[in-house]
Structure 1
Amino acid sequence: MVMKIIDWYKDNFEASLSGRYLTLNHIENLLDSYSTFFDINVAGTSENDFKIPIIRLGTGTKKVLVWSQMHGNESTTTKAIFDFLKLISYPGIFLKEVEIFLKSYSFTIIPILNPDGAKLNTRENANEVDLNRDAKNLSQKESRVLRKVFEELKPDLCLNMHDQRSIFGLNGKFPATISFLAPAANKKRTITPARVTAISYINRSIDLLVELIPDNIGRFDDGYNDNCVGDFFTTAGVPTILFEAGHINDDYEREVSRSYIFYALAAMFNISHFSEVKSKEHYFKIPENEKIFNDVVLNNVYISNEKPSSQICLQYREVLTRGKVTFELVIDSINEKNEKLGHQTFNLEGGSVLINSQEKLHIGKKVTSIFDKRNNLMLI
């Protein structure tokens, strides 16, 4: 069944959505096209008065609330949601499984909760507020929209969909490509009934993902903060699952990551295969995320007036340019030891480098070129 869902995805994923920059304009035609399949409406408006769309499907008794792009620049899970909607609309060989799904579940989806941040390509909304720290204050219109939907729906399960930065890794060596969290309900991190339910759903996804990316599945720290929406909803007794789409190989557009989010959704709701793993240990065996990676790392670099074993770590910064996200490399840190891993790593073996044709370095410096002086070689 794993190969069947992979084969379906290759031929049927929502190809009209791609890249990191995703706004209401990008999904408008899809919402129009799905109006005959699903109930599509408006949940409310953003601080800048953009409409916040809402999609409803299924007739089952198990009510699920899903939201994506609470952080405006985290679009990978939105792409995966539309891949999932494609599966529900055009199931092909999964017709029977989709029919059972639609009779079992009632889904309510907010594909872009933060349309202002999406347009600006920022984590925060138009007022520079992080909506995922506004669960108690409800200071923003978007937060109040989500709470209103939550209170009216009274969901049995919530899915809080996000992207995570490329800095996260697992077991000291692997990138964290997809991570989950069943948020805590209190400071003691008690395994409440809501958390048990969330964990059981996560286990279904793990069952499939371990066959595809066994070393790249992570778990976020469950430290409690009831200003965060997931923690707040879990405290209210509603099982909530945090999804985080991360990095793998050279996938900066997150097209590979989106596929794993899609597979996780298909498995979670028993469409791609049937799984009922109840054990909490299954979930807690997933390694916790660590901040161990940078995008580019230069090891064993000689820097004037510094120790010859210095490490230079560089990170890509997202820049919105003419409706497209581009990536600018900047110096993130300079370390005495080789303490960080790189998605791309160069060993200078005690040699020196010119960055932008200069020897002078500083944190935050934009990097357009890196030249290996010893080997007379342009690295980047």
Structure 2
Amino acid sequence: MNYLQLHEQNKENSLFGRYITLHHIEPILQKHKAETIGKSVLGKPIYKLEFGTGKTKILMWSQMHGNESTTTKGLFDFINFLHSKTEESDTILKNFTFCILPMLNPDGAELYTRENANGIDLNRDAQNLSQPESILLRKTFEEFQPHYCYNLHDQRTIFGVDDTGKPATVSFLAPAFNESRDINAVRLKAIHVIVAMNDVLQQYIPNQVGRFDDSFNINCVGDTFQYLHVPTILFEAGHFPHDYEREETRKYIFIALFSGIEFLHENDIVISKIDDYLKIPQNKVVFYDFVYKNVKINYDGKDKIINFAAQYKEVLYKGKVQFEARIAQIGNLDNFFGHVVVDANGEPFSSEENDFPKIDQKADFCLGKSKKVVNGLINN
């Protein structure tokens, strides 16, 4: 099957970029006659969609963290597929029932923050249930009684696939259900789905799939649901080269969603895939957005050669997310990679502020007389 072509046919073109709010998705929700199940801290509606009549029930939720919108885009692409009235979509709808909360944290989405309007990380509120959004998710979980849960997130550009120098474009986790991080029959079901999705994704983004850290935290929603005996899968949408709007990554989230459901429909598990799961390399913090090598500075009257790195900060300005590059690290950076690497070849650093880089300084500077760097990138 050509999964990329399938995505192109079902892409929700009204959604683009990183800033996805209730305003962007409400027209789609109205088209699908979404049900309002409650309100956020600031009174915004939280919607639920249900599709299908099958016996296998899957609960999906996205934008629990308001500034993590890539999986929301991929989710609506998948919803379009479910309504494509093809043989494949009809078969899935006959065999599965989907309960989808496409934007659990609409206040955070509007403000472009990880937390909700009370400053609470909803993914650490699974036990306290102190927030209305957390209560709604738990109530939906208990009423729907899913066979599987899909916990959909984004991760930052800092994550790579171990020490390979490849970005972690998509990462997965079958969360632990206890401190010992044991693998029981419930967690094993989640592992098998992850292995199936990884097998397909390797055809499209080889060596760009990671395995998220499985340290146990019962306050996290995924760990709690796994503890409550429901196989739960964490999705993390990460960086694809030069894709800061995450329009490439959304394709691979769609492919993961489709191929995982396809696997659940077509396969009876007879052989454990634990080894295949553990072979997926772990996520590791090994990337900066920019790395500058062999830069000459004059410090205390002495010339020396240094390396330094810059990282984008995401800033919401007039309804758009802007990427502002700031210097984040100065040193040898031996264990780090850059999504963009610039070799100054000994050219001297200079800027309007000073003659050597400083932490949190804007990445606007010159390297010698020929290279002008503006917002991290060489401005030709």
TM-score (norm 1): 0.93
Distance 1:124 1:149 in 2: 20
Distance 1:297 1:275, change over 3 A: farther
Give how far 1:360 is off: 4.3
Distance 1:376 1:291 in 2: 29
Distance 2:134 2:352 in 1: 44
Is 2:297 the partner of 1:303? yes
Paired position in structure 2 for 1:9:
7
3-state SS of 1:122 partner: coil
Distance 1:6 1:271 in 2: 17
Paired position in structure 1 for 2:367:
372
Q: Which moved more, 1:99-108 or 1:220-229?
A: 99-108
Q: What do residues 241-286 of structure 1 show as CA deviations (whole Å, max 9, x unaligned)?
A: 0000000110000000000000001100118995667512121111
Q: What do residues 311-332 of structure 1 show as CA deviations (whole Å, max 9, x unaligned)?
A: 2111111111111111111111
Say whether the 8 Å CA contact 1:299–1:345 is kept in structure 2. yes
Is 2:354 the partner of 1:362? no
Give how far 1:375 is off: 4.4
Give how far 1:343 is off: 0.4
Say whether the 8 Å CA contact 1:298–1:347 is kept in structure 2. yes
Paired position in structure 2 for 1:208:
200
Which residue among 305, 324, 328 is the counterpart of 1:332? 328
Which residue among 44, 66, 72 is the counterpart of 2:66? 72
Give how far 1:83 is off: 0.1
Paired position in structure 1 for 2:28:
30
Distance 1:323 1:139 in 2: 29
Q: What do residues 94-129 of structure 1 show as CA deviations (whole Å, max 9, x unaligned)?
A: x22222211211110000000000000000010111
Residue type at the aligned position of 2:117: A
Say whether the 8 Å CA contact 1:309–1:336 is kept in structure 2. no
Distance 1:96 1:11, change over 3 A: closer
- The equivalences for 1:171-320 within 5 A come to 171-172=162-163, 173-270=165-262, 278-305=272-299, 308-320=304-316
TM-score (norm 2): 0.93
Residue type at the aligned position of 1:353: F
Give how far 1:302 is off: 2.4
Give how far 1:90 is off: 1.3
Identity of aligned pairs, percent? 45
Give how far 1:8 is off: 2.5
Q: What do residues 72-100 of structure 1 show as CA deviations (whole Å, max 9, x unaligned)?
A: 00000000010001111115xxx222222
Distance 1:120 1:260, change over 3 A: same
Is 2:96 the partner of 1:105? yes
Give how far 1:356 is off: 4.8
Is 2:126 the partner of 1:145? no
Say whether the 8 Å CA contact 1:88–1:98 is kept in structure 2. yes
Q: What do residues 8-58 of structure 1 show as CA deviations (whole Å, max 9, x unaligned)?
A: 2223311010010011110111111222xxxx2012111111100110011
Distance 2:343 2:306 in 1: 11
Name the Cα RMSD after superposition. Answer: 1.9
Distance 1:337 1:351, change over 3 A: farther
Residue type at the aligned position of 1:351: E
Residue type at the aligned position of 2:365: I
Distance 1:307 1:76 in 2: 45
Distance 1:42 1:215 in 2: 40
Distance 1:337 1:265 in 2: 36
Distance 1:174 1:308 in 2: 30
Gap regions ≥5 residues in structure 1: none
Residue type at the aligned position of 2:336: K
3-state SS of 1:107 partner: strand
- The equivalences for 1:40-59 within 5 A come to 40-59=34-53
Distance 2:50 2:351 in 1: 52
Distance 1:62 1:272 in 2: 9
